[in-house]
């Protein structure tokens, strides 16, 4: 009985170490984009890699070779989608959402807030985090493709960083 427990623990440690080394090598060779949070597809790949790692570590039915194949497949698909997104605007639009303007020149855009399911309080929180004390002092708040809120302080004329942001 104790032998079976030690064998299972040993398997977890060996597969865990091997998976860790493999992941580091794959992530270093494929670049920073693989585990970025630039869009929903990137998030799905990150979660899927965690799921593969979990299955490999905890399920004796999943071999190290199967886990390695899973990691490799996800990394290759992520790389291919990223390359296609750069090469094709149409494909990029299919895979990524557009950033959305939620506040413009100190005025909340209620329709945009409703469509994106963002509350006034979340926008105010982003303003506070950016050190902006009054809504009027913000030129824009943008819901980015990764779900974060970017704040553009007012001053210096109309912001040119809003190119490609949907109103």
Q: Which domain range does residue 124 map to?
A: 100-153
Burial per residue of 71-87, b for 16 or more beta-carbon CB atoms within 10 angstroms, e otherwise: beebbeebbebbeebee
CATH of the domain at 123: 3.30.240.20
Q: Assess if residue 158 is contained within a domain.
A: no
- pLDDT of amino acid 136: 93
Domain count, the chain: 2
85/111 same-domain check: no
9/83 same-domain check: yes
17/79 same-domain check: yes
pLDDT in tens, 90-130: 888 788 788 999 999 999 999 999 999 999 999 999 999 99
Give the integer Cα–Cα distance in Å for 46 and 48.
5
Give the global pTM: 0.68
Q: Is the pLDDT of residue 74 over 60?
A: yes
Alpha carbon of residue 98 to chain centroid: 14
Q: Rounded to the nearest 5 degrees, what angle is found at the Cα of 138, between the Cα atoms of 134 and 142? A: 125
Q: Assess if residue 163 is contained within a domain.
A: no
49-53, 126-130, 158-162: segment of lowest average pLDDT: 158-162
109/87 same-domain check: no
Give the integer Cα–Cα distance in Å for 138 and 158.
11
Q: Is the pLDDT of residue 35 over 80?
A: no
110/49 same-domain check: no
29/11 same-domain check: yes
51/116 same-domain check: no
Give the integer Cα–Cα distance in Å for 54 and 117.
32
85/130 same-domain check: no
pLDDT in tens, 2-28: 556 778 888 888 888 999 899 888 878
């Amino acid at each position: 009985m104790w032998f079976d427990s030690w064998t299972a623990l040993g398997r977890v440690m060996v597969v865990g170490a091997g998976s860790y080394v493999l992941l580091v090598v794959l992530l270093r060779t494929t670049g920073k984009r693989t585990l970025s949070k630039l869009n929903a597809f990137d998030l799905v790949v990150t979660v899927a890699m965690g799921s593969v790692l979990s299955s490999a570590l905890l399920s004796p039915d999943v071999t190290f070779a199967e886990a390695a194949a899973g990691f490799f497949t996800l990394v290759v698909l992520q790389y291919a989608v990223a390359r296609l997104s750069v090469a094709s605007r149409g494909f990029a639009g299919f895979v990524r959402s557009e950033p959305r303007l939620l506040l413009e020149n100190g005025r909340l855009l209620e329709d945009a807030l409703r469509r994106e399911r963002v509350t006034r309080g979340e926008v105010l929180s982003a303003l506070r985090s950016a050190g902006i004390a009054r809504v009027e002092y913000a030129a824009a708040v943008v819901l980015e493709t990764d779900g974060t809120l970017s704040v553009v302080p007012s001053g210096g004329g109309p912001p040119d960083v809003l190119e490609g942001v949907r109103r």
